C-alpha cells in the first residue's frame, strides 16, 4: 500500500513538472502615468496571470509589493497613491494543485505631453532612459563577460554622449561585477552571481556630452538576481526528543525543522520530510515535520533510544530536488509497566518457636523497569497468614529483596507450620494490563524446651483493704507446655513494691503478708500489681502478673488540713471564713461531711452554708483582734469522725485582693516569732564582737625598731660645730610637722610653693609647701643621670636603685625611726663608696678661710640664704631647733 502511494505521488509530481515546462510565463508590461492615484487599474485579466496555456488554474494571487494588490480575476490595481518613473514587482500565483508561480510586473511611465495630446516624441517635456529594469540568473556558466542589456538616453539624438555607471557591483562591493561600454551603453556582467548573497543590485547610469556635461537625469538601475535551486535543505533546531514508553498512538513527540537558503515561497524551498527507518514506530508529517508515535507499544525495556534517519528534499520532494539526510534521537522514558516478579514459585523457611525480632528469610524479585526508580523499588506485604500480626516485611534498599521478620514468637505446640502469602508491589501504580504478583511461603516452627506458662497471663483478684495477714486471696499456677501439667513447678515473687503478698512456693497460693492499704501511694486507681516467676525442673522460667483490685473500707476519718486560719475583719462587720475537710476514703465512706461546733465552744462562733466538704465559720459577735481556738467536730457519711481544733487569727483588713480581704502587716515582735527574735539577738551579738575585735587590732602598738649605734651618737641628735654636713645629708634630712597632708607629691588645698634653685653642675631643688597646719619639705637632687626625690616620711632604701615608701601624718616616734633607718643606710653606703662620686658627703673639717675674702663664703647655701630667709625656724621653739639645724644645710657646688 505504501509503495502505491509513493508511485502516485511521483506520477503527480511528474505531471506537474511537465505542465510547468509547457507554461511560458512572461512578465506583464504596462505603461502608466508617473502619478498613480489609489485604485488605479494597472492591467485586467492578463493571460500571464491566468496561467493561460498551463494545465492548472489559478486560485489565489499575492503581490510582493504592498503598494499593489490583485483581485481574484487577476486585475492589478494600486492600493495607495504614488509617483513612479519605473516600477517592478512580482505577483505570486497559486494554482489548484498547490504549486506557486511567480509573474513579474514591469511598469514604465508614459510621456506627460503624449498623455495630454497624443503627439509625437519631439513634444516630450522631459527626456527619459530606456530600457526597463532587467534580471539575471545566479550561478550562470562561463564564458564571461556576458552582455546583459543596452541602455540609452534620448539625449543621444542631440548630443554625442558617453555613459558611466556607479554603485553596488560597480565601484562598491562586489566591485567590478558589472561593466559598461561607455560609447554604446552595453551593460555586461563579469562573473557568476550568488542570489543568496546578493538578491539584487542597485546602481545608477549617467550620460555626459563631449564637454563632460550631464545631458540627462541619472537613471536608477535595478538588476534582480533570479534564483536557481542551488542549495539543499538543512536541519535546524532540536534533534533530541523524549516520549514515554507505552504512549498512545498519535502522541506528538516533537517537530523537526529545516530551512533552505533559496528564494522563499518557491518550489526551491518547498521541503518534504521523509522517514528512512523506524517507520513502524514513528510517522512524520511530510510538510510540517511533526513527529508522532505510530503505535502504543513503544517499549523502553526493549530499546531505550531510537535513532531515526530523516530525509529533507526541496522541490516538494520531487526526484530532481536537492536533499539532505540527518538523524534524530528519540529517548523513551520509563513507566511502571513491569511488576516485580518472584524467582521461585514457592519459598520455604524455618524459625524456632518463641523467637522475636529476628530475620526469618530473604525473598528476591526481578523488575525490568529502570533501576533505583519508584517503578523498580519493591514493597512487600504479608497478605495471608499474618492475622495475629506475628510478621513484618521490609525491603533491602540495595538488593530490592523482601525481608521477612518475626515480631512475636510462635508456639510450636499450637502452630508447627505457618503458611503465608507474600505480595510484591512498586512504589507507584502499575500501568497496563499487568497485575501484582504473589508467592506462597511455608514457615516451619522448630520445637524448644519452654518454660512454664501462666494461664491466664494476667490474673485479676479483688481484695478488701486491711484484710488480716495470712489470708489466702487466690492461687496462681503455671503449666508446662511440654506435658501440660503443673507438677514440680515452683513459684517465686519477682516484684511486690509494698511486700504485701507472699507466694507459697509449691502451690502458688497468694497470702496477705502486710496490711493492704488502698490509700497507699503504691496503689494506682485502686489497683496493686505484683509479678510472679514459675520455675520447672529444667530451670526454665515463666512470668505472670497478678493485678489486685483493692476495695475500700471506712478506715479514715475526715480531717481539716489547714488548722491555722486568718479572718480579716472590716470595722463592726461580722467576718467569716471557709473551713474545708478531706477524707482519703471514697464515697460512701467520705462525703458529704457533718460539721458541728465542739462541746467546748465559747459561743462566739457559729457554722453556716455547709457543703459536701466545707462549712463557713462566722463570728457570732464582734471580737477584738487576736488568736482564737475553735473546736469543730467533723464526721463522714457513716458518722466516723472526731473533734479538731482550728486556730483563727482575727485581724484588720488592709486591702482587698480579688474580693478577699488582706490583713495589715504585723509588728516585728509578733510577726517574727520566737525564732526570728532569736536570730536578731544573735546577729546583734555577732556585730558587737566584731567591733571589739577591730578596736583591739587598731590599738595594738607597733614593734620598736632597732637603731644602730655605729655612728657613736647613740641615736641622739648632737649639735655639731663643724661647717655643715654633706649635701646628701642635707637633702635626705626630713622635717615633718604633724598636720601636713601630702599624697604622691601633691598637697591638699591651700598650699603655697616656693621657687627652685638651679646651679651649673647639677640641679638642686628645695621646695617648701605650707598648708593644713604644717610645713612640708621636699628636696630634688640630680647628679648625672641619677635623680632622687624625697618628701614626707620614707621607709626602705634610697640609694642604689632602691625605692623609698612615703607616709603622711607621721608622729615624732615615726620621724625618729625614719631618720635612723636613713642614716644607717647612708653610712653603710659611704663605707662602700668612700672614694666615689658622693665623697663630698663625708664629714670633713675645713680650715679657716681667712678674713676679708672678697668672694665671701664659697658654699652654695649662702646663695640660698640670700634668696630665701629661714628666720621662721626661730619661732618653732627649743625642741625643734636642733632638728632644724640638722635639716637646714648649706648647698654647695663643687668642681
Which residue bears the cell 542570489? 195
CATH of 453-550, picked from 3.30.450.20, 3.30.365.10, 2.60.40.60, 2.60.120.10, is 2.60.40.60
Instruction: Tell me the pairing of strands 347-352 and 437-446.
Output: parallel
The DSSP 8-state label assigned to residue 155 in this structure reads G
Q: CA-to-CA distance for 634 and 598, rounded, in angstroms? A: 9
Q: CA-to-CA distance for 11 and 270, rounded, in angstroms? A: 18
Across 584-590, average pLDDT:
89
pLDDT band at 664; cut points 50, 70, 90? low
Q: What is the pLDDT of residues 113-145, one digit of tens each?
A: 444 433 333 333 344 565 566 888 999 899 999
Q: 3-state SS of the chain: helix, strand, coil percent to 5?
A: 15, 40, 50
Instruction: Tell me the pairing of strands 378-384 and 472-475.
Output: unpaired
540 in Cβ contact with 499 (< 8 Å) = no
Domain boundaries, given as residue ranges, for the chain: 25-117, 137-219, 234-333, 341-446, 453-550, 564-670, 727-887
Residue 706 main-chain phi, psi, to 5 deg: -80, 130
625 in Cβ contact with 666 (< 8 Å) = no
Instruction: Please name the CATH architecture into which domain 564-670 falls.
Output: Sandwich (2.60)
State how far the alpha carbon of 145 is from the alpha carbons of 190, 308, 824, in Å.
4, 48, 135
**Three-state DSSP class for residue 580:** strand
Query: Which grid coordinates belong to 284?
Result: 512524520
End-to-end CA, the chain = 143
Residue 280 main-chain phi, psi, to 5 deg: -80, -15
Question: In the beta sheet, which residues pair with residue 502?
Answer: 511
Q: CA-to-CA distance for 14 and 33, rounded, in angstroms? A: 44
Residue 374 reports pLDDT greater than 70? yes
Q: Which residues contact 228 (CB under 8 A, 6 or more apart)?
A: 137, 138, 139, 195, 262, 268
Instruction: Please name the CATH architecture into which domain 234-333 falls.
Output: Sandwich (2.60)
528 CA to centre of own chain? 53
Lowest mean pLDDT among 170-174, 383-387, 415-419, 560-564: 560-564
State how far the alpha carbon of 279 is from the alpha carbons of 81, 224, 285, 287, 295, in Å.
56, 44, 12, 17, 10
Please give the model's pTM, rounded to 2 decimal places.
0.42
Q: CA-to-CA distance for 196 and 261, rounded, in angstroms? A: 6
pLDDT above 90 covers what percent of the chain?
A: 39
Q: What is the pLDDT of residues 195-236, one digit of tens each?
A: 999 999 999 999 999 889 998 888 888 999 999 999 999 999
Q: CA-to-CA distance for 405 and 392, rounded, in angstroms? A: 5
726 in Cβ contact with 843 (< 8 Å) = yes
Q: CA-to-CA distance for 631 and 646, rounded, in angstroms? A: 6
State how far the alpha carbon of 865 is from the alpha carbons of 150, 733, 848, in Å.
139, 18, 21
The DSSP 8-state label assigned to residue 839 in this structure reads G
State how far the alpha carbon of 84 is from the alpha carbons of 36, 38, 87, 118, 206, in Å.
8, 13, 7, 20, 19
Q: What is the pLDDT of residue 809?
A: 43
Q: Which residues contact 328 (CB under 8 A, 6 or more apart)?
A: 239, 240, 241, 256, 291, 307, 308, 310
Let me know if domain 25-117 sits in CATH 2.60.40.420: no
Across 446-451, average pLDDT:
80
Q: What is the pLDDT of residue 110?
A: 63
Residue 186 reports pLDDT greater than 60? yes
Q: CA-to-CA distance for 109 and 122, rounded, in angstroms? A: 16
Lowest mean pLDDT among 182-191, 243-252, 399-408, 676-685: 676-685
Q: What is the CB neighbour count within 10 angstroms for residue 166? A: 14
Q: What is the pLDDT of residues 814-844, one digit of tens each?
A: 666 777 777 877 766 655 544 444 445 555 5
**Three-state DSSP class for residue 872:** helix
Q: Calculate the dihedral angle through the C-alpha atoms of 864, 865, 871, 877, rounding to the nearest 10 degrees.
A: 70
**Three-state DSSP class for residue 540:** coil
* Mean of all residue pLDDT scores within the chain: 77
Let me know if domain 341-446 sits in CATH 2.60.40.60: yes
Q: CA-to-CA distance for 65 and 224, rounded, in angstroms? A: 15
CATH of 137-219, picked from 2.60.40.60, 3.40.50.620, 3.40.30.10, 2.40.50.140, is 2.60.40.60
391 in Cβ contact with 403 (< 8 Å) = no
Lowest mean pLDDT among 231-245, 693-707, 740-754: 740-754
381 in Cβ contact with 391 (< 8 Å) = no
Q: What is the pLDDT of residue 710?
A: 46
Q: CA-to-CA distance for 124 and 34, rounded, in angstroms? A: 14
Q: Calculate the dihedral angle through the C-alpha atoms of 872, 874, 875, 878, rounding to the nearest 10 degrees.
A: 150
Across 144-169, average pLDDT:
88
HSE value, Cβ hemisphere, 13 Å, CA-based, for 819: 22
Q: What is the pLDDT of residues 42-88, one digit of tens each?
A: 887 666 666 666 767 777 788 888 888 887 777 888 877 888 888 88
Q: CA-to-CA distance for 652 and 664, rounded, in angstroms? A: 6
Q: What is the pLDDT of residue 47?
A: 62
Q: Is the dihedral of CA 39, 43, 48, 51 positive or negative?
A: positive
Q: What is the pLDDT of residues 853-891, one digit of tens each?
A: 444 444 444 444 444 556 665 666 666 666 666 655 444
Across 802-806, average pLDDT:
38
Amino acid at each position: 500500500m505504501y509503495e502505491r502511494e509513493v508511485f502516485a505521488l511521483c506520477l503527480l509530481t511528474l505531471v506537474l513538472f511537465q505542465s510547468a515546462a509547457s507554461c511560458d510565463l512572461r512578465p506583464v508590461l504596462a505603461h502608466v502615468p508617473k502619478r498613480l492615484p489609489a485604485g488605479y487599474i494597472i492591467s485586467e485579466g492578463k493571460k500571464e496571470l491566468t496561467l493561460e496555456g498551463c494545465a492548472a488554474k489559478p486560485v489565489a494571487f499575492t503581490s510582493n509589493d504592498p503598494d499593489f494588490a490583485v483581485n481574484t480575476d487577476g486585475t492589478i490595481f494600486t492600493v495607495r497613491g504614488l509617483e513612479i518613473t519605473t516600477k517592478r514587482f512580482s505577483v505570486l500565483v497559486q494554482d489548484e494543485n498547490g504549486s506557486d508561480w511567480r509573474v513579474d510586473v514591469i511598469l514604465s511611465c508614459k510621456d506627460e505631453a503624449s498623455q495630454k495630446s497624443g503627439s509625437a516624441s519631439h513634444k516630450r517635456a522631459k527626456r527619459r532612459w530606456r530600457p526597463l529594469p532587467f534580471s539575471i540568473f545566479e550561478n550562470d556558466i562561463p564564458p564571461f563577460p556576458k552582455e546583459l542589456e543596452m541602455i540609452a538616453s534620448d539625449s543621444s539624438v542631440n548630443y554625442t554622449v558617453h555613459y558611466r555607471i556607479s554603485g553596488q557591483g560597480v565601484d562598491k562591493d562586489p566591485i567590478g561585477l558589472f561593466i559598461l561600454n561607455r560609447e554604446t551603453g552595453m551593460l555586461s556582467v563579469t562573473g557568476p552571481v550568488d542570489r543568496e548573497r546578493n538578491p539584487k543590485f542597485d546602481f545608477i547610469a549617467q550620460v555626459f556630452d563631449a564637454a563632460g556635461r550631464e545631458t540627462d537625469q541619472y537613471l536608477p538601475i535595478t538588476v534582480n538576481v533570479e534564483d536557481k535551486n542551488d542549495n539543499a535543505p538543512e536541519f535546524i533546531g532540536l534533534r533530541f526528543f523524549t516520549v514515554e514508553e507505552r504512549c498512545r498512538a498519535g502522541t506528538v513527540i516533537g517537530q523537526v525543522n529545516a530551512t533552505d537558503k533559496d528564494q522563499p515561497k518557491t518550489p526551491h524551498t518547498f521541503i518534504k520530510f521523509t522517514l528512512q527507518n523506524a517507520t513502524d514506530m514513528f510517522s512524520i508529517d511530510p510538510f510540517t515535520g511533526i513527529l508522532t508515535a505510530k503505535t502504543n507499544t513503544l517499549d523502553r525495556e526493549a530499546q531505550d533510544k531510537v535513532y531515526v534517519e530523516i530525509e529533507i528534499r526541496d522541490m516538494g520532494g520531487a526526484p530532481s530536488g536537492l536533499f539532505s539526510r540527518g538523524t534524530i534521537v528519540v529517548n523513551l522514558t520509563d513507566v511502571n509497566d513491569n511488576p516485580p516478579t518472584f524467582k521461585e514459585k514457592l519459598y520455604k523457611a524455618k524459625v524456632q518457636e518463641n523467637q522475636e525480632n529476628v530475620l526469618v528469610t530473604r525473598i528476591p524479585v526481578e523488575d525490568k523497569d529502570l533501576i533505583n526508580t519508584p517503578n523498580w523499588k519493591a514493597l512487600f506485604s504479608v497478605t495471608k497468614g499474618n492475622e495475629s500480626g506475628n510478621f513484618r516485611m521490609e525491603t533491602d534498599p540495595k538488593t530490592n529483596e523482601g525481608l521477612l521478620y518475626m515480631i512475636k514468637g510462635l508456639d510450636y505446640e499450637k502452630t508447627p507450620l505457618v503458611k503465608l502469602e507474600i505480595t510484591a508491589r512498586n512504589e507507584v501504580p502499575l500501568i497496563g494490563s499487568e497485575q501484582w504478583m504473589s508467592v506462597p511461603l511455608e514457615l516451619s516452627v522448630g520445637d524448644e524446651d519452654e518454660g512454664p506458662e501462666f494461664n491466664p497471663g494476667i490474673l485479676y483478684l479483688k481484695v478488701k483493704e486491711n484484710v488480716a495477714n495470712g489470708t489466702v486471696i487466690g492461687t496462681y499456677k503455671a503449666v508446662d507446655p511440654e506435658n501440660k501439667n503443673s507438677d514440680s513447678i515452683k513459684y517465686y515473687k519477682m516484684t511486690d513494691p509494698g511486700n504485701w503478698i507472699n507466694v507459697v512456693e509449691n502451690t502458688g497460693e497468694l497470702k496477705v503478708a502486710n496490711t493492704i492499704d488502698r490509700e497507699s501511694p503504691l496503689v494506682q486507681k485502686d489497683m496493686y500489681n505484683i509479678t510472679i516467676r514459675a520455675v520447672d525442673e529444667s530451670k526454665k522460667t515463666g512470668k505472670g502478673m497478678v493485678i489486685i483490685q483493692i476495695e475500700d473500707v471506712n478506715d479514715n476519718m475526715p480531717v481539716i488540713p489547714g488548722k491555722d486560719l486568718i479572718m480579716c475583719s472590716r470595722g463592726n462587720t461580722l467576718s467569716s471564713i471557709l473551713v474545708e475537710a478531706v477524707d482519703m476514703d471514697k464515697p460512701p465512706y467520705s462525703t458529704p461531711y457533718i460539721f458541728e461546733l465542739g462541746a467546748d465552744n465559747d459561743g462566739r462562733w457559729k457554722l453556716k452554708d455547709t457543703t459536701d466538704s466545707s462549712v463557713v465559720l462566722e463570728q457570732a459577735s464582734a471580737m477584738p483582734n487576736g488568736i482564737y481556738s475553735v473546736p469543730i467536730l467533723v464526721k463522714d457519711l457513716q458518722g466516723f469522725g472526731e473533734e479538731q481544733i482550728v486556730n483563727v487569727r482575727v485581724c484588720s483588713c488592709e486591702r482587698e485582693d480579688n474580693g478577699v480581704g488582706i490583713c495589715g502587716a504585723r509588728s516585728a515582735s509578733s510577726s517574727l516569732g520566737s525564732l526570728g527574735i532569736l536570730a536578731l539577738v544573735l546577729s546583734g551579738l555577732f556585730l558587737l564582737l566584731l567591733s571589739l575585735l577591730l578596736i583591739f587590732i587598731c590599738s595594738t602598738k607597733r614593734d620598736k625598731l632597732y637603731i644602730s649605734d655605729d655612728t657613736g651618737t647613740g641615736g641622739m641628735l648632737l649639735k655639731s660645730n663643724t661647717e655643715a654636713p654633706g649635701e646628701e645629708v642635707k637633702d635626705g634630712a626630713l622635717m615633718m610637722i604633724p598636720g601636713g597632708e601630702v599624697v604622691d607629691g601633691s598637697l591638699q588645698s591651700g598650699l603655697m610653693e616656693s621657687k627652685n634653685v638651679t646651679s651649673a653642675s647639677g640641679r638642686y631643688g628645695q621646695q617648701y609647701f605650707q598648708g593644713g597646719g604644717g610645713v612640708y619639705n621636699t628636696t630634688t637632687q640630680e647628679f648625672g643621670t641619677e635623680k632622687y626625690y624625697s618628701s614626707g616620711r620614707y621607709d626602705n632604701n634610697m640609694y642604689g636603685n632602691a625605692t623609698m615608701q612615703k607616709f603622711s601624718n607621721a608622729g615624732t616616734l615615726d620621724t625618729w625611726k625614719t631618720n635612723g633607718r636613713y642614716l644607717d643606710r647612708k653610712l653603710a653606703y659611704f663605707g662602700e663608696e668612700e672614694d666615689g662620686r658622693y665623697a663630698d658627703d663625708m664629714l670633713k673639717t675645713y680650715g679657716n678661710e681667712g678674713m676679708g675674702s672678697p668672694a665671701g663664703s664659697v658654699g652654695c647655701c649662702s646663695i640660698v640664704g640670700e634668696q630665701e630667709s629661714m628666720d621662721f625656724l626661730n619661732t618653732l621653739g627649743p625642741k625643734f631647733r636642733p632638728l632644724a639645724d640638722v635639716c637646714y644645710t648649706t648647698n654647695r657646688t663643687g668642681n
